[in-house]
Amino acid sequence: MKFNELSKCYFELEKTQKKLEMIDILADTLKHSVSDEIGKITFLTLGKLYPDFVGIKLMLAEKMVIKALSLATGTSEKSIMNTFEEIGDLGKTTHQLLEKKSQTSLLSFTQTKEEDKEYEISEVWEILDKIAKMSGEGSADKKIKTLAGLISKVKPLEARFIIRIVIGQLRIGIESHLLLEALSVSKTGSRESKPLLERAYNSNADIGFVAEQLYEGGIEAVKQIEVRLFNPIRVMLAQRVSSSEELLEKFGGKCSLEYKYDGLRVQIHKKGDDIKLFSRKPEDITNQFPDVNRFIKEAAIEDEIIIEGEIVAYDSTKEKILPFQQVAQRKRKYDVDQKIEEIPVRVYLFDVLYCYNESRLDTEYIERRKLLTEIIKETENIKFSHQLVVDNTDDIEIFFNQALENSCEGVMGKDVSPDSIYQAGARGWNWVKFKQDYILPDTFDLVIIGADYGKGKRAGKYGTFLLGCYNPENLVYQTFTWVGAGFSDEDLDILYKMLKPLSRDKPKEVESEIESPVWFDPQIVIEVEGAEITVSPMHTCAKGELERESDGLALRFPRFTGKMVEDRLAEQATSTEEIHQIYLSKKDK
């Protein structure tokens, strides 16, 4: 397939807000694809080249892209920057520049243009892949020239989306759930196969591989996709409860409790001496934790396993778990040896997802817990999570208080029935979390979707932020609160640098009745606490689910806790349903 055809599809997607229409537009294009290119198309449609766990990212800095555009168009960098600031979209800026570009403004080092060059999708992907993999001395200059060479030879519409892919802001409103549905429609003619595609994707986090199997062997091939070592399984997420009574009620009077540790969730894959660690995003964090790699080699009894746990900073002299901010520093890619010395860690394991040569996703929880103790031996640095099966609220309260005394956030409640499978990629009721701050103020992992500029000493950067929760049913981010409290000057500097490249027109995946001076791609997640959840006629969180359909929910007196939630995808942020449940439980009380 020609890249121009895919660009036309992206342009049509950009113009609509309707989910079903988007699926049909994308499916109509995908059905013309073939198996050896569909994997590349799926990743490009998500604005990337590879699955997140591969770790190869394309994103170039805006300054580098503007230099490339200057070379490709013969326009000064200053002029391009002025146009970009006026339009607010580097893709549209590129499109406009190339439409105006005359034959005399070609690259000086090419002299002539390959007229009507029709690039295949695979050709464009390979050039972008080459740029992504350039490294070492002089690589920045090579990246700029290679990108400039590509942009000088493609049509304006193609350049619009190539530039957006390069800077990580495709802006067509497609995410994995919509893409899987479009793949189902394109290959089978209906949406009915989407659950099978989701199951396959959740088991290995590689949507390109799923698409390739679908196009090569149809749905029967997709059904055969199982857990694969070194392909992370998309993590299971938990719902919330706000009392021990509610926790017990959710599980029919009996459940397992585990400490909820304040650390980094990790999925560990081992085959012989090869070990990889994945965050819940999922990203490969193996190189940041060579000590954990060593700990697992010492503790593992079986050669081939996939297990899950929590990495916490640990002070062995005081036998105390340290706050999250400590272990978060271990995610730095530099000064690893120094950080190992400064911030020792311990791993608390709580689940097994693969062992004895088979997937354990469909194995009930109690059996998985038993298997974990068979394949791992406890050591000084590898422990099993604290666990207790309970059937009354008194035991819950005692265990809960023990968790708090041991520097934990609270407890996880887990289903012990025969239906207690591991729901990969889902936020189901097989697991629930009960934290201390659900009794006092609530904390929420919220996505920054907008901002307003600061005043006084905050002038020149963002001073307040519009935050949203995620509605997985409608695949949108809904507004929940503005927050300006709790940020240090350093926090605001960091957020400005992170958010400035993500600024854009209002994203179609954001549902808001509030006008924000600046909008962002929903990517950055922060933790916020608040005093109360109240009904709001302005915010869209849970809108349509309250007594008055025009009302939503809002967080009163919000404050940034100081915690950047870097290991969580935006779609893994606090959900609308969670907030609605907390509101109802507080209202009842």
Over the stretch 25-47, which tens digit does the pLDDT of each residue have? 999 999 999 999 999 999 999 99
Asked whether residue 108 carries a pLDDT value surpassing 50, the answer given is no
Domains and CATH numbers, the chain: 47-167 (1.10.3260.10), 237-437 (3.30.470.30), 442-588 (2.40.50.140)
The helix (H) or strand (E) run that includes residue 12 is helix 3-14
DSSP letter, residue 513: S
Residue 506 is a catalytic residue: no
Other beta carbons within 10 angstroms of residue 335's beta carbon come to 11
- Specify the pLDDT at position 58: 85
The number of C-alpha atoms within 13 Å of 371 and in the hemisphere containing its C-beta is 22
Provide mean pLDDT across the span 91-120: 68
- Specify the pLDDT at position 557: 82
Asked whether residue 409 carries a pLDDT value surpassing 80, the answer given is yes
Percent of the chain with pLDDT over 90: 82
Provide the greatest CA pair distance for the chain. Answer: 81
Over the stretch 5-25, which tens digit does the pLDDT of each residue have? 999 999 999 999 899 999 999
Asked whether residue 109 carries a pLDDT value surpassing 70, the answer given is no
Asked whether residue 106 carries a pLDDT value surpassing 70, the answer given is no
**What are the angstrom distances between the C-alpha of 110 and each of 106, 107, 571?**
7, 5, 44
Asked whether residue 110 carries a pLDDT value surpassing 60, the answer given is no
- Specify the pLDDT at position 335: 87
Provide mean pLDDT across the span 416-425: 97
Beta bridge partners of 314: 321
- Specify the pLDDT at position 140: 94
Asked whether residue 340 carries a pLDDT value surpassing 60, the answer given is yes
- Specify the pLDDT at position 148: 96
Provide mean pLDDT across the span 59-86: 92
Over the stretch 195-233, which tens digit does the pLDDT of each residue have? 999 999 999 999 999 999 999 999 999 999 999 999 999
At 331, is the pLDDT very low, low, confident or very high (cuts 50, 70, 90)?
confident
**Residues present in the chain in total:** 589
The helix (H) or strand (E) run that includes residue 432 is strand 427-435
Over the stretch 439-479, which tens digit does the pLDDT of each residue have? 444 689 999 999 999 888 788 899 999 999 999 999 999 99
- Specify the pLDDT at position 589: 56
Mean pLDDT over the full length of the chain: 92
Q: Kindly tell me the sign of the dihedral angle through the C-alpha atoms of 483, 487, 493, 494.
A: negative
Q: 121-135, 368-382, 552-566 — which is least confidently predicted?
A: 552-566
Provide mean pLDDT across the span 139-163: 96
- Specify the pLDDT at position 116: 54
Asked whether residue 60 carries a pLDDT value surpassing 60, the answer given is yes
- Specify the pLDDT at position 219: 96
530 vs 483: CA distance, rounded Å: 10
CA 414 to chain centre: 24
Asked whether residue 141 carries a pLDDT value surpassing 80, the answer given is yes
- Specify the pLDDT at position 105: 47
Q: Are 446 and 481 in contact (CB under 8 A)?
A: yes
Provide mean pLDDT across the span 258-284: 96
- Specify the pLDDT at position 127: 97
197 vs 192: CA distance, rounded Å: 10
The structure tokens listed for 529 are: 């606490």
180 vs 191: CA distance, rounded Å: 9
- Specify the pLDDT at position 333: 79
Residues 181-194 as b/e (b if ≥16 CB within 10 A, e otherwise) read: bbbbbbbbeeeebb
- Specify the pLDDT at position 442: 67
Over the stretch 482-534, which tens digit does the pLDDT of each residue have? 999 899 999 999 999 999 989 988 999 999 999 999 999 999 999 999 888 99
CA 128 to chain centre: 22
Selected catalytic residue, list 67, 153, 155, 260: 260
Q: Are 384 and 348 in contact (CB under 8 A)?
A: yes
At 111, is the pLDDT very low, low, confident or very high (cuts 50, 70, 90)?
very low
Q: Are 234 and 209 in contact (CB under 8 A)?
A: no
DSSP letter, residue 289: -
Over the stretch 288-310, which tens digit does the pLDDT of each residue have? 999 999 999 999 999 999 999 99
